[in-house]
Amino acid sequence: MRKRRVGILTGGGDCAGLNAVIRGITKSAIYEHGMEVVGFHDGFLGLIERRFTILTFDMVSGILTQGGTILGSDNKANPFEHVVYEGEEKRKFDISNQCVQLYNDMGLEALICAGGDGTMTIAGRLMEKGVRIVGLPKTIDKDLAETDITFGFDTARCIATEAIDRVHTTAQSHHRVMLIEVMGRNAGWLALEAGIAGGADIILIPEIPYDMEEIIHTARRRGQFGRRFSIVAVAEGARPIGGAQAVQKVVEDSPDPIRLGGISHVIAAQVEEHTGIECRVAVLGHVQRGGTPTPLDRVLATQFAVKAMELVVAGQFNHMVALRGGEMVAVPVEKVMGRQQLVPHDSPLIKTALSVGTSMGIA
């Protein structure tokens, strides 16, 4: 008799902790449940192109501390809008039925999808076609609904905090305003938490449009009190009051075509113009995604993986594993699809920043 099987794919962008999840799923499935694990390559693209590997103990041994994902990922693949180029012409096809057929032909009991809101939305649509889904919350942005945290976030937060720590000495030595731009898309969690941890003087997040005059006033005021430098933590999605986000480029064949970035350069130019204070910008970019996962992300990813296998064995499909109040729980995928968890204006973190004199860019 063929062994019971479960599939796994890592969708969207990579982040630290994905290999820990793959390892946790594979070892738990084999050791505890006697099941076989099918790993699809490059996220949903592996499902589309029928590319997969049977994962073994040896294949996942030693990957706990590695960043990225041994299965590969793809942030453009979508079975419902598969892009095919015919010469210079681009066409989109719905081949989701073929993906469902592959899922059925392989006898999978469930498809475990590790990803963010885009991955969960696609997984939810496959779920409506009969695929049994178990979701795992992955994103450095921490913007996934229904969970207190996502794996990958802590590593990115630590990297961003270290970057802020390192520019302090340069800013102080040269009496400059240093702007550190971090990822996060439309959510400010990464900038807010790294900014607090790194002692940023100004933190700018998408949820609170900034007042340029207040930023200029803060930089000037610090100089008047003998602090001739300022550290600004800027979320890539930050925008001025009444203004728009800075778009770096548009990727037409991506489910999420807008690529944000560059707002820190805009702010730096305005600060220099109005204050005469020299500014420098550090855009962290993909540095935040890579490298060795923190112990927290390794533990969290392993806990998520083990819980996912428990849901599979219990037949509790079409749910995403979430962490709420320190407890691993299952939430319906429908509650996650198409939603983002943004920083609320009454967040205790914002109150904490304000209480220690940090400016949020508004009067």
Catalytic residue ranges: 141
For residues 30 and 131, state if they share a domain. Answer: yes
Question: Could you report the per-residue pLDDT of 101-147, keeping only the tens digit for each?
Answer: 999 999 999 999 999 999 999 999 999 999 999 999 999 999 999 99
* pLDDT recorded at residue 1: 57
CA dihedral 137, 140, 141, 147 (to 10 degrees): 30
Q: Is residue 163 in a domain?
A: yes
Q: Which structural domain, as residue segments, surrounds residue 34?
A: 5-151+293-335
Do residue 310 and residue 285 come from a single domain? Answer: no
Residue type, 351: K
**Same structural domain, 15 and 138:** yes
- Nearest to residue 201, comparing CAs of 175, 168, 160? 168
Mean pLDDT, range 230-245, rounded to an integer? 96
Q: Based on the domain organization, do 45 and 134 belong to the same domain?
A: yes
Within this chain, do residues 201 and 311 fall inside the same structural domain, yes or no? no
pTM of the full structure: 0.94
Q: 37-68 burial by CB neighbour count: b if 16+ within 10 A, else e?
A: bbbbbbbbbbbbbeebeebeeebbeebbebbb
Residue 358 lies in a domain: no
Residue 354 confidence (pLDDT) above 60: yes
pLDDT at 87: 78
127: left (phi over 0), alpha (psi -120 to 50) or beta: alpha
Domain co-membership, 125 together with 202: no
Beta strands in the chain (DSSP E): 5-10, 36-40, 52-55, 82-86, 89-93, 108-115, 133-137, 177-182, 202-204, 230-235, 247-250, 258-260, 279-283, 319-324, 327-332
Residue 84 lies in a domain: yes
Whether residues 219 and 302 share a domain: the answer is: no
In a domain, 143, yes or no: yes
**Residue 356 within any structural domain of the chain:** no
pLDDT digits (tens, 9 = 90+) for 283-323: 999 999 989 999 999 999 999 999 999 999 999 999 999 99
Q: In this predicted model, what pLDDT tens digit does every residue of 167-196 receive, in sequence order?
A: 999 988 888 999 999 999 999 999 999 999
Is residue 30 situated within a structural domain?
yes
Element (H, E) at 74: none
Same-domain pairing of 147 and 177: no
Instruction: Examine the domain organization and report whether 269 and 305 are in the same domain.
Output: no
